[in-house]
Structure 1
Amino acid sequence: MMITKLEEKKQSMYDTVLNQFEKTADLIGLNPNIKKILSLTNNEIIVHFPVKMDNGKVEIFTGYRVQHNNALGPYKGGLRYHPTVDVDAAKALAMWMTWKTSLAGLPYGGAKGGIQIDPRNYSLGELERITRRFTYALGENIGPEHDIPAPDVNTNAQTMAWIADTYMSTKSPSERSQNQHVVTGKPVGSGGLEGRDRATGFGVYHTIKLLHRSRGETLEGKTFIVQGFGNVGYWASKFLVEDGAILLAVQDAHATLYNAEGISVPHLLEHSSPRKGSIKGFEGAKEIDPDEFFGLECDILIPAALGNQITEENAFKIKATVVAEGANGPTNPEGEEVLLSRGITVIPDILCNSGGVIGSYFEWLQNRNGELWQMDEVLEKLEKKLTQVFKNVEGAVKEKNTDWRTAAYIIAISRIELAYNQRGIFP
């Protein structure tokens, strides 16, 4: 049965990433000592902190930051505010970030974290106090050359601005300007990068475009469905539609919408934004049973919500020929086996949604060097980098005669292994 409320199974998600890692490690004959290091996280930080609510009562919140590996550079990864956040979910997501930054050729390691809350239950003022208190509780566990958070599920540019301001406020006046790049994904007026908001969705779109181009096809007339209409789902849909594709269906935690003639992306955004992200009640499409979503006739499926949505229990329903993973870990190993056996191409998360962390790297560089980049320059740089990474993976797919995820993992893990072999392991 499909997970209709888009809830991810946290422990099994960690099992998924370990399964993927061990499969690749065995395939490339990874050094056993390096395998031991990479199979565990470096640090798992759990903080409990009090925050005064609008009604005067104090609530205690639990926050997490898991730092998986920093062999290639500072830890890098998002912070999410969601009821499913816990240490196991953060461990899985941190490990994926290590592979993602390595695959992209960035000087970063992997981390992830967040707070176990549903932000819809709190006012803007409460969310600001929660965020600032969480930042203070993390203390020196984050830093611009140590661990650099970014937006993720239910966090955004405003969240990052609060974190940056709080962190910078703990420094002496002479040091504050040197710590602006403690987070990425900030508002443009607060040191953010033009285009960072669309970087992940643009990456999803561009990898889909590159895959079809490699097959001698265009996106004109291609049909697609999207699970999740947050930042990633919206921007991916916008770019795809502008390139001639047709959005047939959208699913979120509250509703599943379908329109055989196509769904208007701008109108759906206009409807959902004031409703805290809910697509329910949109008049430009009919609401259908959630269990019908994966079985809809289409060319491309974009899971852009949470983890473990495509499993062995529903993968057989999928009629798309391409699954482009906008979310992290949306397909479990058993579900992927079903997809591959049916000839469906899976563009893996560490390639498909890497536009976000590449954009974050650009913002980090911009702050670090005191530069300002324009939107067209950012998208041009992003497109160039994504194309390079895509071609690397495509080459490995052909050379190793394997699937796209395995090819991506081979490149990512081999790069980290090389770093350890060259530097050695501290005694």
Structure 2
Amino acid sequence: MESELTSAKKQLASAAKVLDMDGKVLKTLSEPKNVLKDDIPVRMGAGDKKYFNAYRIQHNDALGPFKGGIRFHPEVSIEEVKALAMWMTWKCSLLGLPFGGAKGGIIVDPKKSSLHELRDMSKGYVDSFSEFIGPDKDIPAPDVYTTPKIMSWMLDQYELLVKHHAPSAFTGKPVELGGIQIREEATGLGGFFVCNDATSRLKLKPKSTTVAIQGFGNVGFNIARLLHDAGYKVVALSDSRGAIYNKSGFSPEKTMTCKLEKGTIADCYSVGSVVSDKGKLITNEELLELDVDILIPAALGNQITLKNADNVKAKLVVEMANGPVSAGADRILNEKKAMVIPDILANSGGVTASYFEWVQNNYGYYWSYTETYEKLKQMLSNVFETTFKNSNKNKLSMRESAYLLAVDRVAKAVELRS
């Protein structure tokens, strides 16, 4: 299976070839500017001390300070984080944000960690990397299995170290600490806006459009809820332990209520208020190959690969996860005439809302929910329109279009600085 870093480098090389990029610039963009590593000591519940591998990868800051989330996951690797940091550079560039790309992670299973352990781990991460983060250096945010609460612990530790308030050092915070109301749903909301724009171009009507969503965390749930409320038929949902399918569709909110009560989506397949007696259990792999109009991978990377791309039947694939489609699989989907909305556009609502939060923290002036919602919608729709027009004009896939626009902007910034 092709690694995410390999896919990321292939995507860059492809864009660089079309752009006739200078070799020195390509070399600069192919590797991260800074690779930060440390082992974080945590006093465990049993009294023993355990060390957790932690990373912060800062890819490029030609457009502005580094920006990117921190994930807590047992499968975090330095190669994965390097790829995610590179993708963040392109995402910020495509959206026109004044940020570069970064990403961080700790190798840990948060589901097996106590609140006390997670707190010490979060504060320990800041202790390790505080010299390299800050409002004008690198602004972290939540990612997989990290939350506003974790951001509040990190902010608190950072402010203890720098000895002054610095709310814009972290985004995705609780509202009481300078966060914004829309942040928790922003990634899913941005994906919903982009998905709506894409379906209108494909002439798909919501009421007759079927949707399968892999992943039912914050992002998967919110885009499922928004699509369902807009009239789309959500026929399949999954979490890490399995999936449910019902051709008649079901309510994401009722499914979430059931999941919180029973523990997994799989345990909800026989609950009448969720999927009815026509529902059935399927695997995450089977979900990706369902005969649906829209497929939304919203879990982890490398889910659609050379192994299963031929079996994907969706007309529209919306990448709400980072790197869910490998470079090889992307070529196959293009040959099948499927529209793939790349992650650097589809899931960019989160970093856009983070930018709004950073701006408001810096100015000490906060917008209403409605104003933030409208700004997010306008920005995402404008970027979709620009990417779509460039795609049509130059006979490019949506990914090729987005990458050429994003990479070109960063490359020019690098050249201007050299």
TM-score by length of 1: 0.93
Counterpart for residue 301 of structure 1: 295
Work out the CA distance in 2 between the residues paired with 1:388 and 1:288: 37
1:253 paired with 2:244, answer no
Counterpart for residue 79 of structure 1: 70
Task: Please give the residue correspondences for 1:47-66 in structure 2 after superposition, counting only pairs within 5 Å.
Answer: 47-66=38-57
Counterpart for residue 211 of structure 2: 224
Counterpart for residue 394 of structure 1: 388
What do residues 207-239 of structure 1 show as CA deviations (whole Å, max 9, x unaligned)?
Answer: 110012234444233110001001110111111
Q: CA deviation at 1:288?
A: 2.0
Note closer, same or farther for the CA distance 1:265–1:45 as it changes in structure 2 (3 Å cut): same
Task: Please give the residue correspondences for 1:12-31 in structure 2 after superposition, counting only pairs within 5 Å.
Answer: 12-31=3-22
Q: Which amino acid aligns with 2:413?
A: A
Note closer, same or farther for the CA distance 1:349–1:180 as it changes in structure 2 (3 Å cut): same
Work out the CA distance in 1 between the residues paired with 2:310 and 2:361: 47
1:315 paired with 2:309, answer yes
Work out the CA distance in 2 between the residues paired with 1:376 and 1:235: 18
- Are the equivalent residues in 1 in contact too, given 2:259–2:267 (CA < 8 A)? no
CA root-mean-square deviation: 1.4
Note closer, same or farther for the CA distance 1:289–1:305 as it changes in structure 2 (3 Å cut): closer
Note closer, same or farther for the CA distance 1:319–1:199 as it changes in structure 2 (3 Å cut): same
Counterpart for residue 169 of structure 2: 182
User: What SS is found at the alignment partner of 2:68?
Assistant: strand
Q: CA deviation at 1:376?
A: 1.1
What do residues 309-334 of structure 1 show as CA deviations (whole Å, max 9, x unaligned)?
Answer: 00111111111100000001000011
Work out the CA distance in 2 between the residues paired with 1:261 and 1:393: 34
Q: CA deviation at 1:19?
A: 0.5
Task: Please give the residue correspondences for 1:133-282 in structure 2 after superposition, counting only pairs within 5 Å.
Answer: 133-172=124-163, 176-177=164-165, 179-273=166-260, 278-282=264-268
Q: Which amino acid aligns with 1:184?
A: T
- Are the equivalent residues in 2 in contact too, given 1:200–1:353 (CA < 8 A)? yes
What do residues 234-287 of structure 1 show as CA deviations (whole Å, max 9, x unaligned)?
Answer: 1111111111101111122101111111121111111233567x3230122331
Work out the CA distance in 1 between the residues paired with 2:267 and 2:261: 12
Counterpart for residue 330 of structure 2: 336
Work out the CA distance in 2 between the residues paired with 1:275 and 1:117: 24
1:424 paired with 2:400, answer no
- Are the equivalent residues in 2 in contact too, given 1:233–1:304 (CA < 8 A)? yes
Q: Which amino acid aligns with 1:239?
A: L
Which of 293, 299, 318 pairs up with 1:324? 318
User: What SS is found at the alignment partner of 2:235?
Assistant: strand
Note closer, same or farther for the CA distance 1:364–1:290 as it changes in structure 2 (3 Å cut): closer
Note closer, same or farther for the CA distance 1:253–1:401 as it changes in structure 2 (3 Å cut): same
User: What SS is found at the alignment partner of 1:307?
Assistant: coil
- Are the equivalent residues in 1 in contact too, given 2:214–2:284 (CA < 8 A)? no
- Are the equivalent residues in 1 in contact too, given 2:220–2:298 (CA < 8 A)? yes
- Are the equivalent residues in 2 in contact too, given 1:209–1:218 (CA < 8 A)? no
Size of the aligned set, in residue pairs, is 410
Q: Which amino acid aligns with 2:168?
A: H
Higher mean C-alpha displacement, 163-172 vs 349-358: 163-172
Unaligned runs of 5+ in 1: 1-8
Q: Which amino acid aligns with 1:280?
A: A
User: What SS is found at the alignment partner of 2:387?
Assistant: helix
Work out the CA distance in 2 between the residues paired with 1:147 and 1:13: 23
Work out the CA distance in 2 between the residues paired with 1:275 and 1:140: 43
Q: CA deviation at 1:424?
A: 3.3
Q: Which amino acid aligns with 1:254?
A: R
Q: Which amino acid aligns with 1:303?
A: P
Unaligned runs of 5+ in 2: none
Q: CA deviation at 1:194?
A: 1.3
- Are the equivalent residues in 2 in contact too, given 1:164–1:180 (CA < 8 A)? yes
1:358 paired with 2:358, answer no
- Are the equivalent residues in 2 in contact too, given 1:194–1:373 (CA < 8 A)? no
User: What SS is found at the alignment partner of 2:51?
Assistant: strand
Higher mean C-alpha displacement, 159-168 vs 284-293: 284-293
Q: CA deviation at 1:420?
A: 2.5
What do residues 85-123 of structure 1 show as CA deviations (whole Å, max 9, x unaligned)?
Answer: 121111000000000000000000000011001100111
Work out the CA distance in 2 between the residues paired with 1:109 and 1:274: 40
User: What SS is found at the alignment partner of 2:89?
Assistant: helix
Work out the CA distance in 1 between the residues paired with 2:40 and 2:294: 43
Work out the CA distance in 2 between the residues paired with 1:206 and 1:245: 13
Work out the CA distance in 2 between the residues paired with 1:356 and 1:289: 28
Q: Which amino acid aligns with 1:387?
A: S
Work out the CA distance in 1 between the residues paired with 2:145 and 2:46: 23
